[in-house]
Each structure stands twice: as structure tokens, then as C-alpha cells.
């Protein structure tokens, strides 16, 4: 049976971060799924013409997403001036009973903050610990060993502009360097744990190489070196739902999916039309992959067929194109949106009524200095891939492009941020079967 899916992205709110926004992540630990962090990176040039010094400043924002009829739904809780932030990630488990976030900064530091709840019910971040991974370098990325919600051994990886990867442990609130090695000839843009075996780590660099490392045998020699990407490798994430599965992205505009047991050839290759700065697997749906594609917006890939061995490119099932600048940061929320999405009318109604009504999407730009509204044309089908038809499959296999075999429809909350226009967007994605098509196929 061929099944078509209606896919729709809708902006909920836009927030002006004032400085260039490059990294955003929702809190993964319960009950704080409503908490969102965003980091900025601003290059400040020296005052005079002769002054060639550059300073990099940043800011860490903390937000609360409130669903109960709040308008706007995103409430700023806190802003902290920091060194410029190049990456931020929450630990996937509570540490000493608290949510914890790590930031990689332009001063070469990995900084940790814990989140506390005030008596008024608000949340705020407090500095916990920091460690400089090296002098005269930028910390570029970090990853936690806790991607499968395992709290038995909490460690952090950090990559830097000197091409090094560092492994850090966290004990009694203090960061300690366990090991560091030169992994790449130029910037090591990204490093990531295998969430299934956290003694295995991956790194990607501006030398166009993707490498694997086994911490048990020491980092003197990589377990593999892949030159399959033709430009710098800048995003890697292990799939927390499927063992051995790895997604990588590069300035070469390709997303590659891999089986870690055979790194000679990727499972699939998908052209994204922009450098792939960040990749995030969906927190519960194992086949959905979010990509921040620098010059070509944000896209959601459906990877099911590729992971089942079809070898083809992963279809894009949704795109969010309302940013006007480099697409850098993106993340899925674990929050379930309570209000139902506008559903398709019953199949008995005329076919025309299935299309979303045209009209305007009202977006509020918020900043401390000004607040103004703008309307964006949101005619059905303009930028929303409506009615994506799945390839034909055998009836027993079920729909080829289902959100997941047991899900009739899917509603997701996401956040994304863009660089030069310093904007943070919170948006939703609704994916529902086209009921009229199902009806017609049953008759």
C-alpha cells in the first residue's frame, strides 16, 4: 500500500538573541523538557584601524516553553555573559539530582553549569566547574557519554581548534582530564561518543577525515580513518536507538549514514544543499534525523529505508526555511505538545478542504529593545512538502514512510537558530497520514 503523509512546519515564536546564535538544545531530563538553552558567538574587532585584536564574546540563554495558552510561549529565564560559545549540550541524566549543561568556549574551556529551581518555581543556571583543554585554542564541540540515559559513567568529550580530542571525567562536581591526543591536522570540528560502547569515540576534522578511536587501547592509532567526505567533517551523532548506527555531516553538503562495524562504505548518502553543521537523531523515533544545513535551512530526514539496506538517499520529509542566515543550531524537544494540531477534515468532505487554508503566519520578534510583529506568507504547499508519497511496499511491511510503525501521526516541537541574523526560532512539525488517500485505497 502506498501511503501519503501530510507534513507541515509552523513557526511558534522567534526570539532575537542580539549576538550571533549558533547552538541550541532542549533539556533531555525529566521534568525539565520545557527548558531550552541557546548559546551565542560574537566576534568583536578592535576599536582602531591598527588594532587587529579580536575578542570573542558570548551569551548563554535559558528559556521556559509554556504551553498553557501562554503568548508568546517562550519565556526568557536567564541570560549570562560568557566567552563565545561554539557548542552546548545537556547531560542526558541528572548529576547529583540536577540537570547539567556543558559549553565549549572560544577561550579553550569546557564549562559546566547546573540548573536549580527557585522557590518561585523558576529555573536558573549556576557555574559548577570549568577546565581549559589547552592554551591558544578554541573548544569547538562536546558530547556526553550518557546518550542512552546511562548514568553509570559520566564523561565528556571535547574537540578543539588545535586538532585535539580530550576525554574528561566528572567526579564530585569537578572536571578532570583523562586523556588528550592530536586527532586531526587542522581544526577538530566535532567529536562524539558511541552511545552503545562509550569506550569508542569518533572525531571529524577540517582535514576531511572521519576517525574512530578505542579508549581501551589508547589513542595512538585510530581504529579507522575514512576519507569518504570530501571536505571538513563537522557533525557526528551516534543513534541512541540503534546500535552501530552513526550519522555524519560535512561542509561537502552530504549526510552519510554508517554501520560502525563497516566504515569502508556508508549505508547511504544524502545531498543536503548546504554544509551540515549539526545532526540530531529524534529522541524517541529511531529513523528521524534533523539536519542544520548552513546555507540551506533545516531539514528532517526519514532514514528507515536506508537503515534497512536500501542504499538510497534518505528522503526529506519536512523543511523549515524561515531563517534568513546560516543554519547552525537545531534540536528536538521531548515535550509532547498538548494542543492538537489542525487535523485533516473527514474524507467524506470535498478533496479541496484537505489543503491547509492559505493566509499569514504571525511571528513576533522579541528583543529587550523592541518588539514588532511581521507576517509571513504561509500559503499551503509553498514551503511545506505536502502529501509526500511513500514508495510502494508489500502490505505486510506497512507504509514505507511511517513516522514509526506504531504511530498514526506525529507532532514535534523543535528549536533552531541562525547566525548572522541572531535569531532563535521555536517551531512545530506535524506529520499525519493523508486520510482521504487512505480512504480511497480501502475502496
In a domain, 407, yes or no: no
Q: pLDDT (tens digit, 9 = 90+) per residue, 314-354? A: 999 999 999 999 999 999 999 988 655 444 333 332 222 22
Least confident of 246-255, 268-277, 308-317: 308-317
In a domain, 102, yes or no: yes
d(CA 26, CA 35): 6
In a domain, 192, yes or no: yes
Confidence of residue 178 (pLDDT cuts 50, 70, 90): very high
Contact indicator for 276, 327 with CB cutoff of 8 Å: no
Q: pLDDT (tens digit, 9 = 90+) per residue, 88-119? A: 999 999 999 999 999 999 999 999 999 998 76
Confidence of residue 149 (pLDDT cuts 50, 70, 90): very high
Residue of higher predicted confidence among 25 and 438: 25
Mean residue pLDDT across the chain? 84
In a domain, 199, yes or no: yes
Residue-level pLDDT at 168: 98
Quickly tell me which residue has 568556549 as its cell: 105
User: Could you tell me the CATH number of the domain that includes residue 247?
Assistant: 2.130.10.10
Cell of 185: 591536522
Tell me which residue of 383, 352, 377 sits closest to 362, measured CA to CA.
Answer: 377
What's the pTM value of the predicted model, to 2 decimals? Answer: 0.84
Highest mean pLDDT pick, 63-67, 266-270, 396-400: 266-270
- H, E, C per residue of the chain: CCCEEEEEEEEEEEEECCCCEEEEEECCCCCCCCEEEEEECEEEECCCCCCCCEEEEEEEEEEEECCCCCCCCEEEEEEEEEECEEEEEECCCCECCECEEEEEECCCEEEEEEEEECCCCCEEEEEEEEEECCCCCCEEEEEECCCCCCCCCCEEEEEECCCEEEEEEEECCEEEEEEEEECCCCCCCEEEECCCCCCEEEEECCCCCEEEEECCCCCCCCCEEECCCCCCEEEEEECCCCCCEEEEEECCCEEEEEECCECCCCCEEEECCCCCCEEEECCCCCCEEEEECECCCEEEEECHHHHCCCCCCCCEEEEECCCCCCEEEEEECCCCCCCCCCCCCCCCCCHHHHCCCCCEEEEEEECCCCEEEEEEECCCCCCCCCCEECCCCCHHHCCCCCCCCCCCCEEEEEEEEECCCCEEEEEEEEEEECHHHHHHHHC
- Structural domains in the chain (count): 1
In a domain, 354, yes or no: no
Domain extent, residue 172, equals 19-337
In a domain, 344, yes or no: no
In a domain, 48, yes or no: yes
d(CA 296, CA 328): 10
Q: pLDDT (tens digit, 9 = 90+) per residue, 21-50? A: 999 999 999 999 999 999 999 988 766 656
Residue of higher predicted confidence among 373 and 208: 208
- Does 381 have pLDDT greater than 70? no
- Does 271 have pLDDT greater than 60? yes
In a domain, 174, yes or no: yes
Residue-level pLDDT at 378: 36
Residue-level pLDDT at 362: 38
Cα(first)–Cα(last) distance of the chain, in Å? 12
Q: pLDDT (tens digit, 9 = 90+) per residue, 13-23? A: 999 999 999 99
Amino acid at each position: 500500500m502506498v501511503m501519503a503523509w501530510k507534513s507541515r512546519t509552523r513557526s511558534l515564536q522567534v526570539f532575537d538573541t542580539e549576538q550571533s546564535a549558533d547552538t541550541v538544545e532542549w533539556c533531555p531530563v525529566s521534568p525539565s523538557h520545557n527548558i531550552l538553552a541557546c548559546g551565542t558567538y560574537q566576534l568583536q574587532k578592535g576599536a582602531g584601524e591598527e588594532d587587529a585584536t579580536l575578542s570573542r564574546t558570548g551569551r548563554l540563554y535559558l528559556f521556559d516553553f509554556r504551553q498553557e495558552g501562554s503568548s508568546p510561549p517562550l519565556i526568557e529565564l536567564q541570560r549570562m555573559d560568557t566567552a563565545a560559545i561554539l557548542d552546548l549540550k545537556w547531560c542526558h541524566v541528572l548529576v547529583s539530582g540536577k540537570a547539567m549543561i556543558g559549553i565549549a568556549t572560544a577561550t579553550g574551556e569546557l564549562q559546566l553549569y547546573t540548573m536549580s529551581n527557585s522557590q518561585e518555581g523558576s529555573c536558573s543556571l549556576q557555574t559548577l566547574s570549568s577546565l581549559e583543554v589547552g592554551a591558544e585554542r578554541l573548544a569547538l564541540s562536546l558530547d556526553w557519554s550518557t546518550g542512552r540515559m546511562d548514568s553509570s559513567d559520566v564523561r565528556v568529550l571535547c574537540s578543539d581548534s588545535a586538532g585535539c580530542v580530550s576525554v574528561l571525567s566528572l567526579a564530585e562536581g569537578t572536571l578532570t582530564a583523562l586523556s588528550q591526543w592530536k586527532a586531526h591536522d587542522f581544526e577538530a570540528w566535532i567529536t562524539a561518543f558511541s552511545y552503545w560502547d562509550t569506550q569508542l569515540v569518533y572525531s571529524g576534522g577540517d582535514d576531511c577525515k572521519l576517525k574512530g578511536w578505542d579508549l581501551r587501547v589508547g589513542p595512538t592509532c585510530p581504529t579507522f580513518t575514512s576519507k569518504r567526505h570530501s571536505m571538513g567533517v563537522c557533525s557526528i551523532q551516534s543513534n541512541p536507538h540503534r546500535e552501530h548506527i552513526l550519522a555524519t555531516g560535512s561542509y561537502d553538503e552530504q549526510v552519510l549514514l554508517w554501520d560502525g562495524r563497516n566504515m569502508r562504505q556508508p549505508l547511504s548518502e544524502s545531498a543536503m544543499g548546504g554544509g551540515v553543521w549539526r545532526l540530531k537523531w529524534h529522541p524517541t523515533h529511531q529513523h528521524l534525523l534533523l539536519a542544520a544545513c548552513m546555507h540551506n535551512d533545516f531539514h528532517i530526514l526519514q532514514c528507515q529505508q536506508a537503515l534497512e539496506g536500501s542504499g538510497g538517499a534518505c528522503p526529506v520529509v519536512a523543511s523549515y526555511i524561515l531563517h534568513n542566515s546560516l543554519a547552525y543550531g537545531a534540536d528536538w524537544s521531548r515535550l509532547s505538545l498538548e494542543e492538537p494540531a489542525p487535523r485533516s477534515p473527514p474524507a467524506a468532505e470535498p478533496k479541496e478542504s484537505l489543503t491547509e487554508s492559505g493566509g499569514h503566519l504571525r511571528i513576533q520578534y522579541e528583543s529587550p529593545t523592541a518588539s514588532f510583529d511581521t507576517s509571513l506568507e504561509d500559503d499551503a504547499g509553498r514551503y511545506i512538502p505536502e502529501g509526500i508519497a511513500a514508495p510502494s511496499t508489500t502490505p505486510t511491511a506497512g507504509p514505507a514512510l511511517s513516522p514509526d510503525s506504531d504511530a498514526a501521526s506525529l507532532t514535534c516541537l523543535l528549536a533552531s537558530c541562525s547566525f548572522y541574523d541572531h535569531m532563535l526560532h521555536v517551531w512545530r512539525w506535524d506529520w499525519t497520514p493523508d486520510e482521504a488517500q487512505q480512504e480511497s485505497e480501502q475502496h
